[in-house]
Amino acid sequence: MLANSKISNKMDSKKVTTSSENSYGKSLKGFFEEVTLLTRFTVRFFKELIKPPYEFNEFFKQSYLIGYKSLPLIAITGFIMGLVLTIQSRPTLAQFGAESWLPAMVAVSIIREIGPVVTALIFAGKVGSGIGAELASMKVTEQIDAMEVSGINPFKYLVVTRILSATLMLPILVILSDVISLYGAYIGVNLKGDVSFDLFFIKIFDKLVFTDVFPAVIKTFFFGFVVALLGCYKGYNSSKGTEGVAEAANTSVVYASLMIFILDMIAVQVTSLFS
């Protein structure tokens, strides 16, 4: 009896190990499958991008929705970001008697790093999830299939226009957000001090160099591309009905946010190689 129970215990533990190994193997296999599908999706995007006809009207419409319509949200967060960063940095700089460095320090932080990354994250939250949910709901309600039947290339019409718009609109949003952040920083500096706008302006541009501005702007093209690409990919390939819509919206934001940080890390390394 005892011997039998020992044997059955051993068999149970073996079963657990095998099933966990299987689940790891499955998830690893699933990850590589996903990478392959995403690569195919990206290659298809570039192919469809250069191939006529071009959906200019849809591109302008998406640019308006993705870029212009995101401006109020980006402007508010940018302003708060500049203001808060200035207020938080002041005590530390005051300890060294270096309060006069506040405008330059805040400007370099915003333009190099905080502005592009925070704006891209908010953009991922608003635009990435929106694209994911919109395409997923079109997929589950078979609107995409209907488009194909009616002779419209849904990939070109829905995916290419959205990815291109996001890639081009995010850098503009980041530039505007940076400027609004700097205005917030100017107000932050003047909450406890008295610095004229001219002096604030001179102090900022005294310390800024091209290697602060160009890499920061260039990386935002990649951020915009990744946000829209993941949103489109998740939405375009969604299934499982309404549950799939929620999943597409959620995963596109999560993966886009993660990719923004990974791309930022790579961008910093590449920039430090050249500067």
Partner 1 sequence: MKKATGNKIRLGIFVSAGFALLIVCIYLIGERQQLFSNTFHVSGIFKNISGLQIGNNIRFSGINVGIVDDVEQLTDTTVKVDMLIDNDARKFMKKNAKAIIGSDGLMGNKIVIITPGTYGQKPLADNDVIATEQPITMDDILIKLKVTGDNAATITSDLAIVMTNIREGKGTIGKLLMDTAMANEVDQAVVNIKQGAGGFKQNMNAASKNVLLRGYFKKKKKKDEEKDKK
Structural contact between residues 189 and 82, judged by C-beta atoms closer than 8 angstroms: no
Contacts to partner 1 by CB under 8 A: 57, 60-61, 63-64, 67-68, 71, 96, 98, 171-173, 175-176, 179, 205-206, 208-210, 213, 217
Cβ of residue 61: shortest distance to partner 1, in angstroms?
Answer: 7
Please, which residue, 179 or 254, has the CB nearer to partner 1? Answer: 179
Nearest 5°: the CA angle 127, 224, 265 is: 120
Please, which residue, 57 or 150, has the CB nearer to partner 1? Answer: 57
Cβ of residue 133: shortest distance to partner 1, in angstroms?
Answer: 22
Cβ of residue 266: shortest distance to partner 1, in angstroms?
Answer: 23
Please, which residue, 172 or 246, has the CB nearer to partner 1? Answer: 172
Cβ of residue 201: shortest distance to partner 1, in angstroms?
Answer: 9
Please, which residue, 220 or 238, has the CB nearer to partner 1? Answer: 220
Calpha distance 44→218 (Å, rounded)? 23
Please, which residue, 191 or 209, has the CB nearer to partner 1? Answer: 209
Structural contact between residues 32 and 132, judged by C-beta atoms closer than 8 angstroms: no
Query: For residue 31, how far is the Cα from the chain centroid?
Result: 20
Cβ of residue 128: shortest distance to partner 1, in angstroms?
Answer: 20
Please, which residue, 147 or 168, has the CB nearer to partner 1? Answer: 168
Cβ of residue 169: shortest distance to partner 1, in angstroms?
Answer: 8
Calpha distance 218→157 (Å, rounded)? 26
Calpha distance 114→76 (Å, rounded)? 15
Backbone dihedral angles phi then psi of residue 223, each to the nearest 5 degrees? -60, -50
Dihedral Cα 157, 253, 47, 31, nearest 10 deg: -130
For 21, 77, 257, the CA distances from 122, given in Å and listed in that order, are: 38, 9, 9
